[in-house]
């Protein structure tokens, strides 16, 4: 069933308390590392844009937290993410294991730099 969330707060509140804590910490990391990013909901999950361009998304699922930092964000950290189930632009952090918050922060910083300093074509 698709739900149209009005805010990231509303989205996060739909999860169990332990998952909420993890989602809130990821949200704080994004806000700290990308203070100019605009927060919203896209594709039914928290989404962030910087300078009008997609920065990243994250979302809670039954057994994991999905972190979507575009293909370039994941390619730059392929070695660090190799221990997690991942795709071209996504990674899954299992809920029964510690979330690599330092790594998520590094990925956010990378994406911010990529957007701010990538020449316009």
In this prediction, residue 88 has a pLDDT band, given cuts at 50, 70 and 90, of confident
CA-only gyration radius of the chain, Å: 14
- Reported as a single tens digit per residue, the pLDDT across 20-78 is 999 999 999 999 999 999 999 999 999 999 999 999 999 999 999 999 998 899 999 99
For domain 8-117, the CATH architecture is Alpha-Beta Complex (3.90)
**3-class SS at 28?**
helix
């Amino acid at each position: 069933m698709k739900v149209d969330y009005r805010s990231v707060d509303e989205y996060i509140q739909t999860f169990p308390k332990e998952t909420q804590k993890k989602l809130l910490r990821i949200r704080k990391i994004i806000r700290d590392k990308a203070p100019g990013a605009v927060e919203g909901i896209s594709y039914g999950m928290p989404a962030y844009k910087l300078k009008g361009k997609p920065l990243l998304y994250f979302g809670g699922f039954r057994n994991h937290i999905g972190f979507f930092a575009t293909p370039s964000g994941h390619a730059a950290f392929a070695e660090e993410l190799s221990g997690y189930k991942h795709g071209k632009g996504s990674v899954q952090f299992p809920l029964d294991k510690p979330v690599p918050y330092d790594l998520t922060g590094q990925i956010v910083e990378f994406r911010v730099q990529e957007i701010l300093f990538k020449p316009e074509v």
